Amino acid sequence: MTLTPQPTPDSRRPLLVYRDRIGVPSEIAFSRRQYLNFQTLRPVWIGRSLMPEAGQVGGDLVRIGGARGMLFRHLGLIPPLDLTGFARVVHAQFARGGALALPLAQGMDARMVVTLHGGDVGKDKNWRHTLLARRWPAVIARTYRFVCVSHAVADTAMRRGAPGTLLTVLPIGVEVPPALPVGARDGGFLFAGRFVEKKGISVIADAMRHLRANGGAVKLVCAGDGPLRPVLEALAREIPGVELVGWLSQPALAARMEAALALLVPSVIAVDGDAEGLPSVVPEAMARGCAVIGTAEGGIAEAIEDDVTGLLVAPSSASALAGAMHRLSTDPALASRLALAAFHAVGERLNASRQSAALETILLAAEGTSPNA
């Protein structure tokens, strides 16, 4: 197994990026965008598993598979890797990714930058007698910066022992079109993401039932998949106009956003502590001129200003969500006003080119420091 850089028109220095499972469908878009505007470094992804669409994350892919993968996972034994010419910094995705990548950084005598996304630091089970818990002190010692996608994630990281001096809040950006996409908003409401508890799946289902009981008739498209799919399948059998379309490509999802009246993001903190950082679909919708109805807490509330760039509702409140949906469905002018303001806001604060350049600056700064462990 070799990572020796091959002759290529791309003259940027290779950067080792660790993600244990590369190409998870819900991660592809934000994975790629982090490196969108890198000028000096080019990502070389390394992990133990390559998902079918891993190639879409951008950059070279390396798999540590089979017995080597098991030895790497459990004992930290690094397979033969020629890292000549690589930047002396490792970028790890998620807290557990930082723990798994630790031996690589130690072997390179390099610092780490670890991007924290939300549930990776929030889930209680991640910290109970796990590899992450065992290696966390060493990860902190080796890490130059923990890049947090929202202030809420930074607060959680501090509760897990990460020093505030090592935390940088840098949301992942999105490509913003030069002009606001304009089209007929006849696609109803849209949900896009994993069908899991923290996404507020049950809240959406109850809100739809609340609307129907009060005479409201709206369409709902659910893009994605997950363990709570039966909840939405039951809703589709019960209420006309509910459609499950599976995972969509980025162009297909963008088209749905451009047709939707609003994106629903009623996220909650799950029983196991799993919580959102900043769901990538929020800035994606804002960039496509799609209003957002989201939960009034965490990273969502940091991205959306209530009644200015979207609508915020109380967590776990199906009636509040239904009320916001009714408000938008009966007031097209409001939906248009929110969408326009959101489009301008995302262009100013969450433009992928600027966010990506800021990440590269952090990585280059890390390369110039000496490891602490």
pLDDT above 70 covers what percent of the chain? 97
Q: What does the H/E/C string look like for 1-57?
A: CCCCCCCCCCCCEEEEEECCEECCHHHHHHHHHCCCCCCCEEEEEEECEECCCHHHH
pLDDT at 64 over 80: yes
**Going from the N-terminus, what domains does the chain have, and what CATH number goes with each?**
13-173+352-367 (3.40.50.2000), 189-349 (3.40.50.2000)
Taking the C-alpha atoms of residue 44 and residue 13, their distance in angstroms, rounded to an integer, is: 10
- Calculate mean pLDDT across residues 145-161: 96
Taking the C-alpha atoms of residue 118 and residue 198, their distance in angstroms, rounded to an integer, is: 11
pLDDT at 32 over 70: yes
How is residue 124 written in tokens? Answer: 């209680």
Contact 304, 276 (CB under 8 A): no
Span 331-352, pLDDT tens digits: 989 999 999 999 999 999 999 9
pLDDT at 9 over 80: no
Q: Identify the three-state secondary structure at position 350.
A: coil
Comparison of pLDDT for 272 and 56, the residue scoring more: 56
Taking the C-alpha atoms of residue 224 and residue 231, their distance in angstroms, rounded to an integer, is: 13
Nearest-CA neighbor of 339 among 304, 294, 290, 305? 290
- Calculate mean pLDDT across residues 123-132: 93
pLDDT band for position 18 (cuts 50, 70, 90): very high
pLDDT at 4 over 70: no
pLDDT at 361 over 60: yes
- Calculate mean pLDDT across residues 90-117: 97
Taking the C-alpha atoms of residue 275 and residue 269, their distance in angstroms, rounded to an integer, is: 5
Contact 363, 92 (CB under 8 A): no
Nearest-CA neighbor of 355 among 118, 181, 176? 176
Contact 245, 224 (CB under 8 A): no
Residues near 330 by beta carbon (within 8 Å), at least 6 away in sequence: none
pLDDT at 371 over 90: no
pLDDT band for position 328 (cuts 50, 70, 90): very high
pLDDT at 3 over 60: no
Which stretches of 81-178 are assigned E, i.e. beta strand? Answer: 89-93, 111-116, 143-148, 167-169
Half-sphere exposure of residue 84, counting CA atoms within 13 Å on the CB side? 5
Span 172-231, pLDDT tens digits: 999 999 888 877 777 799 999 999 999 999 999 999 999 998 887 789 999 999 999 999
pLDDT at 373 over 60: no
Taking the C-alpha atoms of residue 172 and residue 139, their distance in angstroms, rounded to an integer, is: 22
pLDDT at 329 over 70: yes
CA 297, 326, 187 angle in degrees (round to 5)?
95
Residue 220 CA from chain centroid, whole number: 23
pLDDT at 292 over 80: yes
Which stretches of the chain are assigned E, i.e. beta strand? Answer: 13-18, 21-22, 41-47, 49-50, 60-63, 89-93, 111-116, 143-148, 167-169, 189-192, 220-223, 242-246, 262-265, 291-295, 311-313
- Calculate mean pLDDT across residues 146-166: 96
Span 237-284, pLDDT tens digits: 999 999 999 999 989 999 999 999 999 999 998 888 888 888 999 999
pLDDT number for residue 5: 46
pLDDT number for residue 276: 87
pLDDT band for position 298 (cuts 50, 70, 90): confident
pLDDT number for residue 8: 59
